[in-house]
């Protein structure tokens, strides 16, 4: 018996990846979460961060999304998922300053601030 399960990342316009793997680490809303085979059925959503897929050693940057795990199928729906190797280095700086500007606006709610701070941190630590 292999200890692999299927992970699939889907964006509104295409299916980004579908592979078998032993472990996936997702940036769930309340903290990072590692998922192994036979995890209990789960629905959660994501904060900005990195999805790491073991075995194929690929990482994806997401800003938001929803995750469902059932029957050893991990399904990640996100409109912002991007393979880290495909991200344009120049645009990262712009994203960071953009997010920092938003942070300083007074009407931003705590929840948004929470998400934005994660976005900035992740982007800074992408170290391409």
Partner 1 sequence: MPSLDDLKKRIKSVKSTQKITKAMKMVAAAKLRKAQENAEKGRPYSKKMQNIILNLTRSISDPKNAPKLLSGTGNDKTYLCVVLTADRGLCGGFNTNICKLAKTSFKKILNEQKNLKIITVGSKGFDQIKREYGKYVVKKYSFKEKKQITFKEADTVGNEIIRLFNQNEFDKCILFFNNFKNVITQIPQAQQIIPVDNKSTKSQEENFLPYEFEPDEDEILEDLLPKNISTQVFKAFLENAASEQGSRMTAMDNATRNAGDLVDKLTINYNRSRQASITKELIEIISGAESL
Closer to partner 1 at the Cβ: 31 or 90? 31
Q: How far is the CB of 119 from partner 1 (least distance, A)?
A: 16
Q: How far is the CB of 6 from partner 1 (least distance, A)?
A: 13
Closer to partner 1 at the Cβ: 70 or 94? 70
- List residues bridging with 69 in a β-sheet: 42, 74
- The site for partner 1 (CB under 8 A) is made up of 10-15, 28-30, 33, 40-45, 66, 68, 70-71, 75, 77, 79
Beta strands in 14-125 (DSSP E): 14-21, 24-28, 31-35, 42-46, 49-53, 58-62, 65-70, 73-77, 82-83
Q: How far is the CB of 42 from partner 1 (least distance, A)?
A: 5
Closer to partner 1 at the Cβ: 1 or 40? 40
Closer to partner 1 at the Cβ: 91 or 124? 91
Taking the C-alpha atoms of residue 50 and residue 55, their distance in angstroms, rounded to an integer, is 16
Taking the C-alpha atoms of residue 60 and residue 26, their distance in angstroms, rounded to an integer, is 10
Other CB atoms within a 10 A radius of the CB of residue 56 amount to 11
């Amino acid at each position: 018996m292999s200890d692999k399960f299927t992970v699939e990342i889907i964006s509104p316009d295409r299916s980004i990846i579908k592979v078998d793997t032993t472990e996936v680490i997702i940036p769930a809303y309340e903290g990072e979460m590692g998922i192994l085979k036979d995890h209990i059925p789960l629905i959660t959503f994501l904060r900005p961060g990195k999805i790491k897929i073991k075995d194929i050693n690929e990482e994806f940057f997401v800003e938001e999304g929803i995750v469902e795990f059932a029957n050893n199928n991990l399904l990640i729906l996100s409109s912002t998922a991007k393979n880290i190797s495909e991200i344009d280095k120049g645009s990262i700086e712009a994203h960071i300053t953009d997010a920092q500007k938003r942070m300083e606006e007074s009407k931003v709610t705590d929840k948004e601030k929470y998400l934005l701070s994660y976005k900035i941190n992740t982007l800074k630590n992408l170290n391409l």
